[in-house]
Amino acid sequence: MDQKTGFLILGAVVVLALIIISYGYYTSLPGPVTTGGQTAGQNPPGPAPTYAPQGQVVAGFPQKLILDPGATVSNSYSLSYSANNNQYTAVWNSSSSMASLYSTYKNYFQNNGWTITNDFVSIPTVRGIAGKSGTNVASVVITAQNKGSQVTISYLAQ
């Protein structure tokens, strides 16, 4: 055997050894990390959302909570936790200012039998208000946009 052939055989053996070592290393790695029975990267267990068609609010969402007649709905969905426990959410855009919409919702809650349970005004570009009426709960988050506001309302019917 000449020197060239010897180097080729030695190189092939080294490459084969590296492949075997690599395979052994990668197959010995632990599987996905789980916490509390949940594999990392998976959605948490819970109800699957039911989405409304584009531009519409999902059935069950109280239309009277959209206080801007010029609102453009961008997203709406519901979550059913049980037969008597459902969450309805709508996201919509308005040409009205954040401050104006916040004032409108605060007045609406105060004048329509809602108890205000949380009032959030500490961030300059976000306002939030939450209220309770009987067993129902609503939260309103208003975010200032370049032209107008985006409003997210979640309503929990119990």
Q: Percent of the chain at pLDDT above 70?
A: 72
Structure confidence at residue 85 as a pLDDT band (50, 70, 90)? confident
∠ CA 42-44-49 to the nearest 5 degrees?
Answer: 105
Domain with 116, as residue range(s), is 50-157
Tokens of residue 146, six digits: 């370049």
Give the Cβ contact number of residue 125 at 10 Å: 10
* CA nearest to 87, candidates 153, 9, 4, 140: 153
Residue 80's alpha-carbon distances to 44, 99, 122, 157, in angstroms, are: 15, 32, 32, 10
Structure confidence at residue 25 as a pLDDT band (50, 70, 90)? very low
The verdict on 63 and 20 lying in the same domain is: no
Tokens of residue 96, six digits: 């009205």
Would residue 45 count as lying in a domain? no
| Confidence (pTM) | 0.70
The verdict on 129 and 63 lying in the same domain is: yes
The pLDDT of residue 14 is 44
The pLDDT of residue 136 is 92
Q: What gap in Å lies between CA 22 and CA 26, rounded to an integer?
A: 6
Mean pLDDT on 92-96: 95
- 46-67: per-residue pLDDT in tens? 788 999 999 999 999 999 999 9
The verdict on 27 and 86 lying in the same domain is: no
Would residue 122 count as lying in a domain? yes
Residue 151's alpha-carbon distances to 49, 79, 81, 111, 116, in angstroms, are: 19, 19, 24, 20, 18
What is the average pLDDT score of the chain? Answer: 81
Would residue 44 count as lying in a domain? no
> Is residue 153 pLDDT above 90, yes or no?
yes
> How many separate domains does the chain show?
2
